[in-house]
Structure 1
Amino acid sequence: MDAVVGEPQGLRGLLPIGGRSILRHQLGLAMALGCSRIVVLAETLTGDLVALQHAAEAGGARFHVIASARALAPLVAAEDELLVLTEGLLAMPEDALRLLGDWPVILTLPVEAGLPLGFERIDINSAGAGAMLLPGKMIAALGDLPGDWNPGSALLRIASQARVVQRELPAVLLDQGRWRLIRDEAEAHRAEPGWVRLHTASALVRSPGLWIAAGVVRLLGPALLHAGTRPYVIALAAAITALLGAGAGWFGWSAAGFAMLALAWLVLQVAGLLARVERDSLLAWSGGASFDVLAEAALDCMLITLCAWRSEIPAVTGVPWGIAWFPPVVLLLLVRLLRRLQPEEPWTFWLNDRFVVGALLAVTSVLLPFDFVLRVLVVSLIVVGLVLGRRGDAGAAGLPGPGKPA
């Protein structure tokens, strides 16, 4: 790792992107490519490198910090594959995994595009793109070079002279910021917003709540991650908001309770998007899909409870206990059923958006006859389900559905 420009005590590999060092991003990439031994060239073992060692060992790899290039030779056998990543390289994992999938290979750039961005020249036409996958036997040639040679630069030239296959990086990766070299703290700050946008670009934003959550992540995500705020902290805030909403419903403030449950779902989606950013950038070894399912089920239970508390049916003499719970239970079950029947229909994303559902219930609680509206919604969703079922039966039988020409 080289020193940061203007900061002799700082190392480029430790510059933060999304609250984690660039070296931590590179570790995730190395582990995804199957590396079983991680070697970092640095003068001293710092606390940041100790944390990186723990992450590598948790992923099943051995970790080494060496002070000179010559110490690398005993760690690499001739039959090994050697992945070399330039300090400060930040690449979208799916691009790096695809381009480095076949070995041996040197990733390159046109020299006129690579040099201004800080990449190293190979020859008159090409510059290295900061990543290469080489046969381990090439490490032996480092012993013939002076000790002050940078091993990455030396291996780049050794591999070029050995005519290792060179693969040019698509220009679109540079244009979109999917492949870049971070050289100082200012570049790291400029890169973070684009990095978050790239990782949330494929999120399914098909309803108001999801649109708002994605906007919050793109606006505040870099600051939250840079401050070290992990997704589980935001999920905890969502849980607290949901409990406050349930408490408001208990004391009779139904509209406020529904609104707070809608807000809790929104905050939960923000946490989920940030967790997805960490998973997609290989900063987390496992996902949290089961937690998401449990959290949404708990929110649905709270919405049902608040609907039952808001209902005026229990005030009617002679009505059996528990009848007020029936309409909201049926309503939420129908919402889930229709979402499964039509998973790709845009309107079912609105149904599955608990921000929309909570806001609708809050408005209904204040302005409309609550119990009547619940029953209208239940009947409407049943009718929609019957229509969808008829269309599905007609399609399975090869017959025209309603509104389709024969």
Structure 2
Amino acid sequence: MLTGLIVAGEEASDGSCLRAELPIAGQTVLEHQGRLLVEAGAARIMIVAERLTPLLTQASARLRRDGISVELVRQVDDVAQRVRPEEKLLLLADGVVTDLSAAERLLAGAAPSILVLPDAAETRGWELIDASARWAGLLLADGELVRRTARMLGEWELQSTLLRNAIQSGAERVPVQGIAILARVEDGGAAQLVEQAISRGATRRPTGLVDRYVFDPLARLLAPKAMGAMVDPGLLRTGSAALLMLAALLLVGGWRWPALILALLSGPLDTLGRHLGALSLRLRRDRERSRQLRLAAAGAAQLALGWNLREFGWGSVAMAAATLGFMTALLEHQRWIGKPTPRPLWLAETDLLIWLLLPFGLAGWWTAGLAVQTLAAFGSLIAVQRLTRRQS
């Protein structure tokens, strides 16, 4: 079992709040640290804070609301009592922000191990551990080392004392090479710089042509304001699915254009939610749940479109069902057989099918647009099967 350990006690250099409370990527530093540790495999997060401020309590509550096990402790002895000797603990130092690769590098080795930087002019802000190296703020220890440290602490501070004990125990030193983001967030200015670095490095693969060339630039433009307002990415993605469900209801009621407009708007809303989710390290299970919810809503809207167009013949219902079947087969093929590498952007996906309907709707050829959707879904399924066969 892996436990994440976060120390939250130092004040920001301007004295405005604690370092852990500084805003970054639409959340606090503490929340970013907690989500990173969970993404690395931590089953629970222990936050050591002698002073439980309202902001720390609220941040912890938001993590719990997302299904993360969070324990707030005020005394080092409480940490020692809650860990087992064989348990692994990954400590993230106060105010340190990094990416998943840093945690994975430590976890690839045995405990104890520490992440280190070379002693140089640009690393002078990091804690010096010997004549040639400085600590980069991450430490992997076992429960026995933590319990031994707690017994000897007295007036000593947990973070530095645990580091010294790890070094004396012969901790492996893991260099920071290959880690894209590593910074100490000590004030609001540093938080903004790190947020910009996270935004540049956030990986979110575009799902298709429309997403790549229309929605993604818009999401990157709106993301800073959304992060400043601490908008929940999950709400955006749920809202996107809700728009598609409302579109389905409108189609059943005979309202084609209002339904199409809502479906068109659902795309950028979902992309902005996915972009913010990548920036704020939302849990994989939450991202997958949001994706499944939108796919289900899109399927309902597709069937409602076929029902709406039945005045031109019941073949419209058959085409809508066939489109849904082809898209389901496409997704299942990519899930079980594999995705083509690289994945062509022209392959059918939810937003591309929605936008394909727009020109036909403008011309009044709704049934033709539905037929083109069916052909696009079928052609994409055949293309993926051939592409993955060549790679195997």
What is residue 45 of structure 1 aligned with on the other side? 52
The one of 10, 32, 39 equivalent to 1:2 is 10
- 188-197 or 372-381: which moved more? 372-381
Asked whether the equivalents of residues 43 and 69 of structure 2 are also in contact (C-alpha less than 8 Å), the reply is no
Determine if the alignment matches structure 1 residue 180 to structure 2 residue 187: no
Asked whether the equivalents of residues 20 and 29 of structure 2 are also in contact (C-alpha less than 8 Å), the reply is yes
Q: Report how far residue 137 of structure 1 moved.
A: 4.1
Question: Which whole-Å CA distance do the structure 2 matches of 1:228 and 1:194 have between them?
Answer: 18
Q: Report how far residue 362 of structure 1 moved.
A: 1.8
TM-score, length-scaled by structure 1:
0.73
Question: Which whole-Å CA distance do the structure 2 matches of 1:21 and 1:73 have between them?
Answer: 26
What is residue 194 of structure 2 aligned with on the other side? 191
Determine if the alignment matches structure 1 residue 131 to structure 2 residue 138: yes
Query: Residues 185 and 306 from structure 1, CA distance in 2 versus in 1: closer, same or farther, beyond 3 angstroms?
Result: same
What is residue 357 of structure 1 aligned with on the other side? 353
Determine if the alignment matches structure 1 residue 220 to structure 2 residue 222: yes
Query: Residues 36 and 260 from structure 1, CA distance in 2 versus in 1: closer, same or farther, beyond 3 angstroms?
Result: closer
Name structure 1 gaps, 5 residues minimum.
315-321, 396-406
What is residue 234 of structure 2 aligned with on the other side? 232
Aligned pairs (5 A) from 1:391-402? none
What is residue 401 of structure 1 aligned with on the other side? none
What is residue 116 of structure 2 aligned with on the other side? 108
The one of 67, 70, 74 equivalent to 1:65 is 74
Aligned residues: 372
Question: Which whole-Å CA distance do the structure 2 matches of 1:195 and 1:335 have between them?
Answer: 33
What is residue 17 of structure 1 aligned with on the other side? 24
Name structure 2 gaps, 5 residues minimum.
1-8
Q: Report how far residue 48 of structure 1 moved.
A: 3.2
Query: Residues 100 and 145 from structure 1, CA distance in 2 versus in 1: closer, same or farther, beyond 3 angstroms?
Result: same
Indicate the SS of the match to 1:128.
strand
**RMSD over aligned Cα, in angstroms?**
4.1
Query: Residues 295 and 87 from structure 1, CA distance in 2 versus in 1: closer, same or farther, beyond 3 angstroms?
Result: same
Question: Which whole-Å CA distance do the structure 2 matches of 1:205 and 1:380 have between them?
Answer: 15
Query: Residues 161 and 266 from structure 1, CA distance in 2 versus in 1: closer, same or farther, beyond 3 angstroms?
Result: same
Indicate the SS of the match to 1:350.
coil
Question: Which whole-Å CA distance do the structure 2 matches of 1:194 and 1:337 have between them?
Answer: 38
Q: Deviations over 1:305-358 (max 9, x none)?
A: 2354356526xxxxxxx4442333334433444565574287875343332222
Indicate the SS of the match to 1:3.
coil
Question: Which whole-Å CA distance do the structure 1 matches of 2:368 and 2:82 have between them?
Answer: 73
Q: Report how far residue 95 of structure 1 moved.
A: 2.6
Question: Which whole-Å CA distance do the structure 1 matches of 2:381 and 2:43 have between them?
Answer: 51
Aligned pairs (5 A) from 1:322-361? 322-338=314-330, 343-344=339-340, 350-361=346-357
Query: Residues 386 and 91 from structure 1, CA distance in 2 versus in 1: closer, same or farther, beyond 3 angstroms?
Result: closer
Question: Which whole-Å CA distance do the structure 1 matches of 2:244 and 2:324 have between them?
Answer: 17
Query: Residues 160 and 307 from structure 1, CA distance in 2 versus in 1: closer, same or farther, beyond 3 angstroms?
Result: same
Indicate the SS of the match to 2:346.
helix
The structure that has the greater radius of gyration is 1
Asked whether the equivalents of residues 217 and 273 of structure 1 are also in contact (C-alpha less than 8 Å), the reply is yes
What is residue 319 of structure 1 aligned with on the other side? none
Query: Residues 80 and 228 from structure 1, CA distance in 2 versus in 1: closer, same or farther, beyond 3 angstroms?
Result: same
What is residue 3 of structure 2 aligned with on the other side? none
Percentage of identical aligned residues = 22
